[in-house]
Amino acid sequence: MNQKVVSILMMIGALALLVGAATMITKWVGAPYLYSVGALLFVAMQMTDRYEGTDFTIKRLRRQQLFGAIMLLVTGVLMFVERHNGWIATLTIAALLELYTAFRMPGKE
């Protein structure tokens, strides 16, 4: 897929993630749906980025990034299932992993 298209779709997914998480706090009924669509789009675009090299550090960072993506999906499920705020913990873990890898990976590639 074209890198520009991937970038645009990832931005749309990230925006839907942000709006969905922010509106979930207000108990809006559509918030889990918006968040989940954003998470699926964001994770799908993140999965298209592959690393075929041999650098151990980048492979480790990539695994952390993929674990963060899985946590984004788990957060969406918890938004539907739980009546409490347990989804906040998984969202925090995902955000920290994604933020860490976003700063570390460009310097290594």
Residues 12-50 have pLDDT tens digits of: 999 999 999 999 989 899 999 999 999 999 999 998 888
Sequence spans of domains, the chain:
3-108
Model confidence pTM above 0.75: yes
Q: Residue 67 in contact with residue 93, Cβ under 8 Å?
A: no
**CA pseudo-torsion sign 70, 76, 80, 81:** positive
Q: Residue 9 in contact with residue 41, Cβ under 8 Å?
A: yes
The model's pLDDT over 58-73, given as tens digits with 9 standing for 90+, comes to 899 999 999 999 999 9
